[in-house]
Amino acid sequence: METLAWIVVIAMLLGQYFAGTADYFLSIENPRPLDDNITIITIYGWGFATESSRTHTAELAGQGFADVRMFATRRQVLVSLFTAGFVRPVSIAWRGNAGQHPLGEA
Amino acid sequence: MATAHIVELEGRREWENYHRTGTSHLKKRYGLRSGDGGRGRDDIAQAASEVQKWLLAAKEEGVPVRPVGGAWSLSNIQLVQNGWMLNTRRFNRCFRLAGHDFARPGSVDPGAFMLIEGGVQVDEVNDKLQEIERSLVTTGASNGQTFPGACATGTHGSVLTAGGIQQHVRAVQIVTPGGIYWIEPSAGLMSDDFIRETGSAPVRDDDAFAAALVAVGSLGIVTAMVIESVPRYLVRPWLKLIDFARDDVETLERGDFRAFSEKHGLKGHDPYFVMVITTPYRPWGGKAVARILYQFPYHSRYEHVEPGKLGAGYDAQSMMAWALRQFPWARGQILQLIMRLGVGKGITEERYGTWGETLESSRPTADSFSAALFCDRARLVHTLEALCTAFSRAGGSTAVTLRFVKGGYGLLSPARWENSVAIDCDGPGGEGTLRAYRKMLDALERQGIEHTLHWGKINNLTPARVAANYGDDLSRWRAVRDRLLPDPADRRLFATEELRAFGLAD
Ligand SMILES: Cc1cc2nc3c(=O)[nH]c(=O)nc-3n(C[C@H](O)[C@H](O)[C@H](O)COP(=O)(O)OP(=O)(O)OC[C@H]3O[C@@H](n4cnc5c(N)ncnc54)[C@H](O)[C@@H]3O)c2cc1C
């Protein structure tokens, strides 16, 4: 019984670890991306400390996003697991859009 | 109305390319931007003049420069150290041409041509052509490169009758500190007035044109191109896990693609595109993924589906990236298995799309490995066997993809045989894979197996190897470079460590 409980706990932890590194990706149609930028946002205290002081601003005024990707590296997931989720760093990768021009006349 | 201009994006910083295979320690990073209206020729003339001023300023400062397109090349040829980088991706307008823009208006269909700016991505070209009911003949497997960046390395797909993407190019505008050149074949294409209005001096010369088609970023900054397209068409994809036998490789070696397709694909049709993904430890005698495309006349009564449903992303590089994102720990045979399982039922039901609809832009994957070797199709069995034996013996476990490309279209096109095959090795990065690949290349060299390597992917090129591969064509390319960049200081402006390693820069 105890062994089974351990197996379940380990499976849950491993599952959290792998799922933590999963990659959430959101893109506009025809992204035409500019260079990749990565910002790491760390959330403390299970989300209680996520107020505006920790909101990041991407320097993209007038351009818009081509795509946004959210993921945690293996190291970031380990930090989260070992602090029981108190420190939860995530990486947000985003790319600006190169702009869409109509077909012009030469 | 804003005209084309260059903006300083940031000062001293480190910059990484798309797949993080290399870092530039930059003094400054700039962006070239399109104007927001007006005629194409005026935008291009303005941009070329701005680029020339920028080059002269760099020359005065004594810093090397580098234009960067999609930044997709894994060979780091878009890096520059202690220099200035010019990001071109916001210089991205496309324009229709009119009959009177051409030297011989009666003899061309102006609707077949398009003027594109130097930072336009392949995806954008596909969309704009679609708008005017036209299409490219071929591209690489994904569409996020810029057109000039893709041409710079001879980017190719696997359309059986086509060469690299540069086969669409009919004229190139190149800017150096000493001039703004409009390069065309000696027969000429555009009218003198048009060329003058783009702010360029005409260079109608077959060697200069052939050198500019695959310039490996070494002849100056490409600010515009005229490309020729074909009427739009539909393709029907066929994607399947097949039993891949030695006989099949022999069939491909003979170029009997119809027979290959009859056995593994849609019966009764000539294939337009054939690609096979196998493994180095069992190149034949096991399972492989075959992607075949069939061409059909365009009609509007087809159901539009997402690129993925047309087989986009089923190239080894994208599949490997997908597999690694889902299972970051996977390597070797396990990774290959996951990739093959990813093919699932494949695509055999009737679906159609235009060429552009079959492509999508891949997502960046750090630590990926991608290399491509070109050989004579007539030696495919021998080369594939030697490559796979040496690679797997050295511990290489990437996917191995066969793609078919026509030779020519540029003095430095790596597809040097009339019928060339590109053998790609795509997989997770790491020292082990790199070492195994290099060992494999050494083994091929020792065995005297003729091959060339992709300029934009992992390679072991040295000036001596490049000279041996390209021979007289390299001398002709150098002669053109010395004509366009006669001042050694101008040549040094475009010299980087990577290009020196190829013997293309002093
Ligand atoms: C996901 C992925 C998929 C790929 N698929 C394929 C494929 O199917 N087939 C294939 O053959 N290759 C493929 N490649 C390789 C890729 O197509 C080439 O490396 C291509 O050259 C990249 O184009 P880019 O616009 O990103 O150019 P960059 O990598 O930015 O630049 C390439 C070179 O061109 C120069 N350059 C860029 N713009 C200009 C300009 N305006 N004027 C002068 N020089 C310029 C740069 O300085 C550099 O030397 C792939 C690469 C990746 C990452």
Identify the closest residue of chain B to A71 by CA–CA distance. Answer: B325
Q: What CA–CA distance (Å, rounded) separates B425 from B435? A: 13
Tens digits of per-residue pLDDT, B196-246?
999 999 999 999 999 999 999 999 999 999 999 999 999 999 999 999 999
pLDDT of residue B208: 98
Helix ranges, B62-181 (H): 122-131, 147-153
Q: What is the mean pLDDT of residues B261-267?
A: 97
Q: What is the mean pLDDT of residues B321-339?
A: 70
Average pLDDT value for chain B: 93
In angstroms, what is the span from residue B43 Cα to ligand 1's centroid? 24
Q: What is the mean pLDDT of residues B3-14?
A: 92
pLDDT of residue A52: 47
From B228's Cα to the closest Cα of chain A, the distance in A is 15
Q: What CA–CA distance (Å, rounded) separates B123 from A1? A: 58
In angstroms, what is the span from residue B47 Cα to ligand 1's centroid? 21
Average pLDDT value for chain A: 84
Q: What is the mean pLDDT of residues B167-171?
A: 98
In angstroms, what is the span from residue B68 Cα to ligand 1's centroid? 9
The share of chain B scoring above pLDDT 90, in percent, equals 81
Residue with tokens 């739009």: B232
pLDDT of residue A53: 47
Regarding the beta carbon of B71 and ligand 1, being less than 6 Å apart is answered: yes
CA distances from B276 to B177, B238, B370, B403 (A): 45, 12, 16, 7
Q: What CA–CA distance (Å, rounded) separates B94 from B18? A: 24
Tens digits of per-residue pLDDT, B371-410?
999 999 999 999 999 999 999 999 888 899 999 999 999 9
Give every CB contact of residue B176 below 8 A, 6+ residues apart in sequence.
B52, B55, B219, B220, B221, B484, B485, B490
Regarding the beta carbon of B84 and ligand 1, being less than 6 Å apart is answered: no
In angstroms, what is the span from residue B369 Cα to ligand 1's centroid? 15
Contact between B138 and B240 (Cβ < 8 Å)? no
Fold of B233-459: Vanillyl-alcohol Oxidase; Chain A, domain 3 (3.40.462)
Contact between A10 and A75 (Cβ < 8 Å)? no
Q: What is the mean pLDDT of residues B178-194?
A: 98
From B102's Cα to the closest Cα of chain A, the distance in A is 12
Q: What is the mean pLDDT of residues B272-280?
A: 95
From B453's Cα to the closest Cα of chain A, the distance in A is 27
Regarding the beta carbon of B317 and ligand 1, being less than 6 Å apart is answered: yes
Residues of A at the B interface, defined by Cβ within 8 angstroms: 21, 23, 25, 30-36, 67, 69, 74, 98-101, 103-106
- Between B323 and A39, the more confident residue is A39
**Which residues of chain A are within 8 Å of residue B98 when distances are taken between CB atoms?**
105-106
Regarding the beta carbon of B407 and ligand 1, being less than 6 Å apart is answered: no
Q: What is the mean pLDDT of residues B430-457?
A: 95
pTM over 0.90: yes
Q: What CA–CA distance (Å, rounded) separates B121 from A33? A: 9
pLDDT-derived band at B364 (thresholds 50, 70, 90) equals: low
Reply yes or no on domain B5-231+480-502 having CATH 3.30.465.10: yes
Regarding the beta carbon of B6 and ligand 1, being less than 6 Å apart is answered: no
Residue A23 confidence (pLDDT) above 90: no
Q: Where are the domains of chain B?
A: 5-231+480-502, 233-459
pLDDT of residue B142: 87
The DSSP call for residue B430 is: S
pLDDT-derived band at B297 (thresholds 50, 70, 90) equals: very high
Identify the closest residue of chain A to B114 by CA–CA distance. Answer: A106
**Which residues of chain B are within 8 Å of residue A78 when distances are taken between CB atoms?**
none
pLDDT of residue B313: 74
Tens digits of per-residue pLDDT, B476-500?
999 999 999 999 999 999 999 999 9
Which strand (E) or helix (H) includes residue B423? strand B419-428
Closest residue by Cα to atom 6, ligand 1, is: B140
Distance from chain centroid for Cα B419 = 18
Contact between B297 and B234 (Cβ < 8 Å)? yes
Regarding the beta carbon of B494 and ligand 1, being less than 6 Å apart is answered: no
From B189's Cα to the closest Cα of chain A, the distance in A is 15
Residue B2 confidence (pLDDT) above 90: no
pLDDT of residue B190: 98
Contact A99 B92 (CB under 8 A): yes
Tens digits of per-residue pLDDT, B21-76?
899 999 999 999 999 889 999 999 999 999 999 999 999 999 999 999 999 999 99
> In this structure, are strands B368-376 and B399-406 parallel, antiparallel, or unpaired?
unpaired
Query: Which atom of ligand 1 sits closest to the CA of residue B146?
Result: 25
Contact B128 A103 (CB under 8 A): yes
Q: What is the mean pLDDT of residues A56-79?
A: 81
Tens digits of per-residue pLDDT, B102-149?
999 999 999 999 999 999 999 999 999 999 999 999 999 989 999 999
**Which residues of chain A are within 8 Å of residue B90 when distances are taken between CB atoms?**
34, 98-99
pLDDT-derived band at A50 (thresholds 50, 70, 90) equals: low
CA distances from B368 to A37, B266, B325, B338 (A): 18, 33, 11, 16
CA distances from A81 to A14, A20, A86, A88, B174 (A): 10, 10, 9, 9, 54
Q: What CA–CA distance (Å, rounded) separates B171 from B177? A: 20
Q: Is the ipTM of this complex over 0.90?
A: no
In angstroms, what is the span from residue B87 Cα to ligand 1's centroid? 13
The DSSP call for residue B22 is: -
Among B177, B178, B179, B204, smallest CA distance to B190 is for B204
